[in-house]
Amino acid sequence: MRAVADARVAVLASGEGTNLQALLDDPVVGPWVVLAVSDRANARALERARSHEVETVFLDPSAHDDRVSFDRALLEVLLARSIDVVALAGFMRIVGPDVVRAFAGRILNVHPALLPAFPGRTSVADALVWGVKLTGVTVHFVDEEVDHGPIVFQDAVPVLPSDDWDSLEERVHEAEHRLLPAAIRALVEGRITIEGRIVRVLEKAPA
């Protein structure tokens, strides 16, 4: 990886982009974000990136015959921009094995539940329906299985009796907006070690 100050981070997002915003607003991580990619042309995330003068790329899934072709295009976009670290921040597509392998140990996902509970796309609603008293947020490395890779950070979010989807999602987002920038920062600064599934985040990079 290049010098920390020159790190190049790409953020993949499909929707609102509040996690992208948290990364852009982070004084350390923000300057590293050089690219936002979306599979939705009208994703608010792309607008957020543009307003920070960050390059945006829309990859149209309908322009590709299958997932392999979409993933190849995604990989080309990332490699052409010499991206060091990829953050999946509400990217609602499965990232294929070629991208995962090319960025092994350099690609993180933020997930709105305490994995391995409630994987998938409807985790906040699933937690409410299940009646759990605690849910939370996971930031994990992406591997070739969905919502599965080694866990970097987790934080619990209580589910209150008065919660509906909006109120619970808001508190889940607050936790995400702390954890994802912290994880990206630790990764870029070389403060993360992975042994099997066990991730350690060091206070300081090893000398």
Residues that bind ligand GAR (CB under 6 A): 13, 15-19, 45, 89-90, 110-112, 121, 123, 173, 176
Among residues 64, 111, 140, 148, the one annotated as catalytic is: 111
DSSP 116: T
Residue among 177 and 185 whose Cβ is closer to ligand GAR = 177
Nearest distance from C-beta of residue 82 to ligand GAR, angstroms: 25
CA R_g for the chain:
16
Look up residue 75 and give its two tokens: 């990989």
The residue with tokens 């070690």 is 193
Is 177 tagged catalytic? no
Residue nearest to ligand GAR (CB): 90
**Which ranges in 31-164 belong to alpha helices (H)?**
44-51, 67-80, 97-102, 123-130
**E strands in the chain:** 9-12, 33-38, 55-58, 85-88, 107-111, 134-141, 151-158, 192-195, 198-201
Residue among 19 and 135 whose Cβ is closer to ligand GAR = 19
Residue among 163 and 176 whose Cβ is closer to ligand GAR = 176
Cα(93)–Cα(79) distance, integer angstroms: 19
Nearest distance from C-beta of residue 30 to ligand GAR, angstroms: 15
Residue among 34 and 46 whose Cβ is closer to ligand GAR = 46
Nearest distance from C-beta of residue 111 to ligand GAR, angstroms: 5
Nearest distance from C-beta of residue 88 to ligand GAR, angstroms: 7
The number of residues in the chain equals: 207
Catalytic residue IDs: 111
